[in-house]
Amino acid sequence: MCLGIPGRVIEIYDNGLTRMGKVDFNGIVKEVCLAYLPDLQVGDYTIVHVGFAITRLDEESARETLALFQSLGVLEEELNPDDSPRTT
Partner 1 sequence: MTEPIDLSGWVCPAPLRDYSAIVLGHGAGGKLSAELIKHLFVPAFGGPHGPLTDAALLDVGGTRLAISTDSFVVRPLFFPGGNIGELAVNGTLNDIAMMGAQPLALTASFILEEGMPLDQLGLIAESMGRAAQQAGVTLIAGDTKVVDRGHGDGVYITTTGFGLIPAGITIGPDQARQGDAIILSGPIGLHGVAILSVREGIEFGAPVVSDTAALHGLVSAMLASGARIHTLRDPTRGGVAAALNEIAADAGIGIEIVERAIPVPPAVQAACELLGMDPLHIANEGKLIAFVEQADADRLLAAMHAHPLGREATIIGYATADHPGVVVARTAIGGMRVVDTLIGEQLPRIC
Partner 2 sequence: MKYLDEFRDPELAQRLLDQIRRLTTRHWSIMEVCGGQTHSIIRNGIDQLLPPEIELIHGPGCPVCVTPLEIIDKALAIAARPDVIFCSFGDMLRVPGSHKDLFRVKSEGGDVRVVYSPLDAIKLAQQHPDRQVVFFGIGFETTAPANAMAVYQAARLGLKNFSMLVSHVRVPPAISAIMESPTNRVQAFLAAGHVCSVMGTEEYQPLVAKYRVPIVVTGFEPLDILEGIRRVVIQLEQGQAALDNAYERAVRPEGNVAAKQMLAEIFTVTDRAWRGIGVIPRSGWRLSDRYAEFDAERRFNVSDIQTSESPLCQSGEVLQGRIKPNQCPAFGKECTPRTPLGATMVSSEGACAAYYQYGRFIPTSNVSIAWKQ
**Residues interacting with partner 2, by CB under 8 A?**
1-6, 8, 17-18, 25-26, 33, 35-38, 45, 47, 49-52, 54-55, 57-59, 61-62, 64-66, 69-70, 72-73, 76, 85-88
Residue type, 75: L
* Residue 41: contacted member of partner 2, partner 1, none (CB under 5 to 8 Å, by partner type): none
Distance CA 83, CA 60 (A): 32
H or E stretch at 78: helix 74-79
Question: What 8-state DSSP symbol labels residue 73?
Answer: T
Using CB under 8 A, list all residues that contact partner 1: 1-3, 5, 22, 25-30, 48-50
